[in-house]
Amino acid sequence: MLDIEKVRADFPILKREVNGKPLVYLDNGASAQKPRVVIDAVTRAYSHEYANVHRGLHYLSNLATERYEGVRGIIQRFLHAGSEDEIVMTTGTTEGINLVAYGWAMPRFQAGDEIVLSVLEHHANIVPWHFLRERLGVVLKWVDVGPEGELDAQAVIDAIGQKTKLVAITQLSNVLGTQVDVKTICAAAREMGVATLVDGSQGSVHAPVDVQDIGCDFYPITGHKLYGPSGSGAIYIRDERLAEMRPFMGGGDMIREVSKEVVTYNEPPMKFEAGTPGIVQQIGLGVALEYLMDLGMENVALHERDLKEYTEKRLSGLNWLNIQGKSPDKAAIFSFTMNGAAHAHDISTVLDKKGIAVRAGHHCAQPLMAHLGVSATCRASFGLYNTRAEVDALVDGLELCHDLFG
């Protein structure tokens, strides 16, 4: 288990107060706070080591290039990818999925081809496929969740048909905390010759990830949820899929040679990294992932499982609270509504007055909201630095909300 007090000391923002109360930050599903080592690395990179990468021959450019390219190997180790060349740097999961949509799917799909999705998906794993529906006539096939918010792997597999070209599925729901058996889905899809994209935005945060064991073709991650800077991220792309892709953005670094008549492209992964990248953001991401690996993702998972079980126990006593999604192996993410007049925004506002940061809204998952029959929920999402005492503070705040609105 983690030494939670030592971990909390690594995050400067946790020492501050909000509205005169100690900050209780429970909005980690949207974006996590940053440890001092990441903040220091970003400051150092801008203050003492900054230059553009790849193109320069001077000392600072070589240093920045070394720091930046070193992150590729860190991401490879974090995801247990087979090669650094299977790691494409991005600004986050959204860019990674759009890269797959434009660079791999668009030149290969035609009208009537199918993409299998679940109603759990974040908009980042929905909208790019709607682009293909609008522009190519691709068909989106949806798989519903069960009564406890669980997603049956066999239901996803059964949705795969002769025209299915891709299964794009989340590893972990950002709304319900539902964990999906993506390994079983990917194995079955591969046997049927169907590609798989696993959205790792949440899954990579809460437990160890091994993309080779999962068996997916594409696995995007986003840095700001992994305790790194916003604007950082990457996507794992299996080498055989890399060979099938065309670049979807053009510019510097992704080319070998440009003339008036022709352009030749660089080899992957550089082929898909056009222009000056987020140099400092990626350096910060590398430090964040090393921080997580030093803690041990197994230890992070154990700590968050304890928080999940304790939260379930405390919330179970609030019979006027409606928890959305109760699958047994869910992560420490809780979305809820409240009986009475309290809207999700009301709950969030009252909790904020107590220094408690939660999320209110549709959480970029409107198909799931429609399936649940609600317009919005309030969400408390836990991270590696949260404590049982903060769960107690949340419960106290919810009881206040009930007294005010119930």
Contact 245, 103 (CB under 8 A): yes
Contact 335, 176 (CB under 8 A): yes
Q: Each residue of 84-121: pLDDT tens digit? A: 999 999 999 999 999 999 999 999 999 999 999 999 99
Looking up residue 328, the CATH number of its domain turns out to be 3.90.1150.10
Alpha-helical runs (H) found in 137-181: 153-159
What pLDDT does 56 receive? 85
Statement to judge: residues 110 and 194 lie in one domain: yes
- Indicate which residues carry an active-site annotation: 364
Q: Which of 231, 262, 294 is the last residue of a domain?
A: 294
Q: Each residue of 141-178: pLDDT tens digit? A: 999 999 999 999 999 999 999 999 999 999 999 999 99
Q: Give me the mean pLDDT over the 347-356 stretch.
A: 97
| Residue 202, CA atoms < 13 Å, CB-side half-sphere | 28
Q: Give me the mean pLDDT over the 70-74 stretch.
A: 98
Q: Give me the mean pLDDT over the 320-336 stretch.
A: 95
Paired with 218 in beta bridges are 197, 237
Statement to judge: residues 166 and 92 lie in one domain: yes
Q: Predicted confidence band at 252 (pLDDT cuts at 50, 70, 90)?
A: confident
Statement to judge: residues 240 and 328 lie in one domain: no
Q: Give me the mean pLDDT over the 285-290 stretch.
A: 98
Q: Give me the mean pLDDT over the 21-48 stretch.
A: 98
DSSP reduced 3-state for 398: helix
Q: Give me the mean pLDDT over the 217-224 stretch.
A: 98
- Return the percentage of the chain with pLDDT > 90, whole number: 96
Q: What does residue 221 show for φ and ψ, rounded to 5 degrees?
A: -130, 160
The answer, yes or no, to whether residue 379 has pLDDT greater than 80, is yes
What pLDDT does 400 receive? 95
Overall number of domains in the chain: 2
DSSP reduced 3-state for 389: helix
Q: Give me the mean pLDDT over the 21-43 stretch.
A: 98
Q: Predicted confidence band at 226 (pLDDT cuts at 50, 70, 90)?
A: very high
The answer, yes or no, to whether residue 295 has pLDDT greater than 90, is yes
The answer, yes or no, to whether residue 342 has pLDDT greater than 90, is no
Report the C-alpha gap between 385 and 209 in whole angstroms.
20
Statement to judge: residues 237 and 377 lie in one domain: no
Q: Predicted confidence band at 340 (pLDDT cuts at 50, 70, 90)?
A: confident
What is the residue range of 91's domain? 39-294
On average, the pLDDT of the chain sits at 97
Looking up residue 95, the CATH number of its domain turns out to be 3.40.640.10
DSSP assignment of 255-323, as one string? EEEE-SS-EEEPPTTGGG--SS--HHHHHHHHHHHHHHHHH-HHHHHHHHHHHHHHHHHHHTT-TTEEE
Helix %, strand %, coil % for the chain, to 5? 45, 20, 40
- 22-53 burial: b if 16+ Cβ within 10 Å, else e: ebbbbbbbbebbbbebbbebbeebeeebbbeb
Contact 274, 252 (CB under 8 A): yes
What pLDDT does 1 receive? 79
